[in-house]
């Protein structure tokens, strides 16, 4: 019986010891809380690192996309890739290009060429309202060939570049706009020069002639003074004529009175 009681007390002691080891002490509780805080801080730090890494990779991707993907063009050009000139050596040839603002905002455009000494544009730049159309004239001096061969229907080394820039309504055009806002400038097109035989009728040559005729008509229309749309005074000249008649009658009476007084 004593042996049984001793065994029973030994079992109770083992259970109490187990319960004591499982129950947290104040020091172990504080240590566990500190560990949880440290783990939470480490987790937040890692999440923050991942977020910043994602933001950095996103900005890098957008930069690469802007540099690779073509910018949305604001101008519609006709012709879109070539400038056609009649091949007349020793003369100044003309070509034309139709420019339309296909965007919903005002757009400034500017011409540049690789041969500024022999080529120029009229106008060299300007601002187009949404939907506005302009036909620009391009001039080029055609030099004589070195081997006496006609380089017709062939591309020339001379190139033209058309750039665009969205501006606010009411902005005055100055070439410095493209330098001040260089990051927002869009390269619209690079046009190559193609010579055509003026004695052989082709669709491209006939199209250039029509566009040049339209450009000349628009230039002449701009030279004419604007029509006077203000209110006109009926009989405006009659007032002056009546005053002259009265003046002459008055002078005549003065002469008659002077003769009678004598």
Detail the DSSP E strand segments found in the chain: 75-78, 82-86, 92-101, 106-113, 119-122, 125-128, 133-141, 155-167, 186-196
- pLDDT value at position 241? 64
pTM for the model: 0.59
**pLDDT in single tens digits along all 262 residues of the chain:** 444 444 454 544 444 444 444 444 444 445 555 554 555 555 444 444 444 445 555 555 454 444 454 567 899 999 999 999 999 999 999 999 999 999 999 999 999 999 999 999 999 999 999 999 999 999 999 988 877 666 665 678 899 999 999 999 999 999 999 999 999 999 999 999 999 999 999 999 999 999 999 999 988 888 877 666 555 554 444 555 666 777 777 777 766 665 555 5
Query: Residues with Cβ < 8 Å from 28, sequence gap 6 or more?
Result: none
Tokens of residue 221, six digits = 């229309």
- pLDDT value at position 146? 74
CA-closest candidate to residue 110, choices 184, 21, 25? 184
CA-closest candidate to residue 93, choices 135, 142, 137? 142
Residue 197, φ and ψ in degrees, nearest 5: -75, 115
């Amino acid at each position: 019986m004593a042996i049984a009681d001793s065994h029973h007390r030994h079992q109770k002691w083992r259970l109490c010891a187990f319960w004591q080891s499982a129950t947290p002490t104040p020091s172990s509780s504080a240590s566990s809380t500190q560990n949880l805080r440290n783990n939470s801080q480490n987790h937040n730090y890692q999440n923050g690192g991942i977020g910043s890494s994602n933001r950095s990779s996103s900005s890098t991707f957008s930069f690469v996309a802007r540099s690779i993907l073509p910018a949305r063009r604001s101008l519609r050009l006709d012709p879109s890739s070539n400038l056609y000139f009649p091949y007349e050596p020793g003369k100044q040839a003309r070509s034309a290009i139709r420019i339309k603002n296909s965007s919903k905002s005002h757009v400034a455009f500017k011409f540049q060429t690789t041969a500024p000494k022999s080529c120029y544009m009229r106008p060299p730049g300007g601002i187009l309202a949404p939907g506005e159309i302009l036909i620009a004239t391009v001039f080029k001096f055609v030099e004589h060939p070195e081997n006496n061969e006609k380089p017709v229907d062939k591309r020339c080394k001379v190139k033209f570049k058309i750039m665009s820039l969205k501006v606010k309504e009411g902005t005055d055009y100055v070439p410095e706009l493209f330098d001040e806002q260089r990051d927002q400038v869009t390269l619209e097109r690079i046009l190559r020069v193609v010579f055509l035989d003026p004695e052989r009728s082709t669709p491209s040559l006939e199209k250039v002639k029509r566009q040049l005729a339209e450009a000349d008509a628009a230039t002449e229309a701009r030279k004419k003074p604007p029509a006077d749309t203000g209110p006109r005074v009926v009989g405006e000249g009659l007032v002056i004529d009546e005053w002259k008649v009265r003046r002459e009658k008055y002078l005549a009476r003065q002469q008659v009175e002077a003769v009678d007084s004598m």
